Homo-oligomer: A and B are copies of this chain.
Amino acid sequence: MTVEVQALTVDVFGTVTDFRSTIIDEGRRLAESRDWPEVDWGQFADRWRGGYEPAMHRVRMGELPWTAIDPLHRMILDELLADYGLDDLDEAGRTEFNLAWHRLQPWPDVIGGMNRLKTRYIVAALSNGNISLLTRMAKHAGFPWDCVLSAELARHYKPDPEVYLTAARYLDLEPDQVLMTAAHIHDLEGARAVGFRTAFIPRPDEWGPGGEAEKPEEGQFDIVARDFHDLADQLET
């Protein structure tokens, strides 16, 4: 496989970033600066992230027109603020809090492992996040992407086949020359369905301390790697 694959397309939320800690930190800091009641920011973070699949589903079903992730995150945030009784946050405060998604921190293995992988492969982001979000996040977190690809380019969300096929087209590669790398089975299954190679990296902490990594079947994906360093080892970079 190492001979044929020329590029890795890498999922972002959960696979390379720890969204939960960042959202919790930013929520706490915001609450300290305001007269807010006690909030379970872990639950808030999980609900914010959890609102994202249903919101994308509304786009997929045509209930909403094509909408980038930034405004989808904002719609979910507005609902959550109402639910938690934090409605007093003004427009500027909401805009700023929503940008927490641009400031997510990487998992500790990612930057080092990615720099090793880059010596041999194109390493591209392939996220449902919009390009401006991914670009700003990369500057903040230090992701050394060779290029930033996004569901936005296909105006479809993963795991729709259009997203993977559009990415392969922009890379000028056949699907089997591209290795989709993610912590999520549905993303890898979507990629595999159009002929991509697949690498699974478990992220047991994605949903916080008591959470569990997804568990693919034996042989379901081409590679299972502990983290990005292990992936670099397995790909001999």
Contacts and interface: CB of A to CB of B under 8 A. Distances in A.
Interface of A: 70, 118, 122, 124, 130-136, 138-139, 145-148, 152-153, 170-173
Nearest to A134: B147
B148 A135 contact: no
Contacts of A122: 135-136, 139
B132 A171 contact: yes
Contact of A139 (B130, B136, B146): B146
A131 B70 contact: no
A145 B143 CA distance: 12
Majority SS at the chain A contact face? helix
Nearest to A149: B131
Closest 6 CB pairs of A and B: A132-B172, A147-B148, A131-B170, A135-B147, A132-B171, A135-B146
The quantity of this chain's copies bound in the complex is 2
Given A132-B171, A138-B147, 4 more contacts: A118-B139, A124-B135, A130-B172, A132-B170
A132 to B, nearest CB: 4
10 contacts: A118-B139, A130-B170, A131-B170, A132-B170, A135-B146, A138-B146, A139-B146, A147-B147, A152-B170, A153-B153
Contacts of A70: 172
A74 to B, nearest CB: 13
Contacts of A146: 135, 138-139, 148
Contacts of A132: 170-173
Contacts of A172: 70, 130, 132-133
Nearest to A68: B172
A154 to B, nearest CB: 12
